[in-house]
């Protein structure tokens, strides 16, 4: 096993300027606002397949294509010199991902959350809340800080992989199915996502619960569910490593406790 110190940097890279650059230049904010209000953005209606389970979009809807040479953070500029890549943000089938083999990062909001709005927009938000209250929290996927957390997460994969001897590229094919999100490099990027949530909620971070953080960054809730299905042992292992990193990076608020996650 590769020692943790070989692929986790002692200090987090400050990618916030690059995150803001990508987010702001993509104009995705107005689309997210519509989705958050339980409305399908007019520009996307003609791209909807109408499928309940298959591909959501007939084709990709690209908002921004950015070369990594445009990034301004110190570590991103270093990574660009070693392994330049393209960054796409828009509305795509599937999930956001870093693809070292193909040299790109794709960034898109949650497909399952968008599908809910496409399918049930006609009900209206208040009626939807009554009929499916368990799904209302998915609308947090459309918060700007949630999208920025995704951008930060995937950017960090690229920076960390490139500046640490391509450890993600080398190891990604050797991880057992179901445990991908509990790897140290995934936790590393989850931490970058949490940092974006904190950046938005800095003023009240020490009054928030861990459950609220998980609700604002639904990726964590998804990983929690995946680990729980796999085994309680793996769930506890993932949580232990995640909390340890949160403490190390000053991301664990004063009111955050593990027992707050029992309702997940």
**pLDDT tens, residue by residue, 25-80:** 999 999 999 999 999 999 999 999 999 999 999 999 999 999 999 999 999 999 99
Pinpoint the alpha helices (H) of the chain: 16-26, 28-36, 74-82, 111-120, 125-131, 144-163, 167-171, 184-200, 210-216, 218-230, 232-248
Quick: pLDDT tens for 116-175.
Answer: 999 999 999 999 999 888 888 899 999 999 999 999 999 999 999 999 999 888 876 666
Mean of pLDDT over the chain:
92
Regarding pTM above 0.85, the answer is yes
Domains of the chain by residue range: 1-126
Mean pLDDT within 238-249: 96
Instruction: Identify whether the C-beta of residue 19 lies closer than 8 Å to the C-beta of residue 149.
Output: no
Residue 3: pLDDT above 70? no
Res 112 pLDDT > 60? yes
């Amino acid at each position: 096993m590769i020692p943790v110190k070989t692929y986790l940097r002692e200090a987090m890279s400050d990618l916030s300027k690059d995150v803001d650059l990508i987010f702001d230049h993509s104009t995705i904010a107005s689309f997210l606002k519509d989705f958050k209000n339980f409305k399908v953005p007019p520009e996307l209606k003609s791209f909807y397949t109408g499928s309940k389970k298959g591909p959501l979009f007939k084709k990709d809807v690209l908002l921004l294509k950015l070369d990594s040479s445009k990034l301004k953070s110190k570590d991103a500029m270093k990574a660009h010199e070693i392994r330049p890549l393209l960054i796409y943000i828009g509305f795509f089938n599937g999930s956001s991902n870093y693809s070292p083999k193909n040299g790109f990062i794709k960034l898109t909001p949650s497909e399952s959350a968008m599908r809910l709005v496409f399918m049930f927009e006609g009900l209206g938000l208040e009626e939807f809340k009554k009929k499916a209250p368990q799904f209302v929290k998915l609308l947090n996927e459309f918060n700007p800080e949630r999208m920025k957390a995704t951008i930060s997460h995937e950017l960090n994969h690229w920076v960390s992989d490139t500046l640490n001897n391509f450890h993600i590229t080398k190891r990604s094919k050797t991880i057992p199915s179901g445990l991908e999100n509990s790897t140290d490099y995934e936790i590393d990027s989850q931490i970058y996502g949490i940092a974006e949530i904190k950046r938005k909620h800095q003023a009240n971070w020490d009054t928030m619960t861990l459950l609220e953080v998980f609700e604002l960054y639904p990726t964590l809730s998804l990983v929690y569910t995946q680990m729980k299905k796999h085994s309680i042992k793996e769930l506890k292992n993932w949580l232990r490593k995640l909390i340890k990193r949160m403490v190390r990076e000053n991301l664990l608020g004063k009111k955050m406790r593990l027992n707050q996650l029992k309702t997940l």
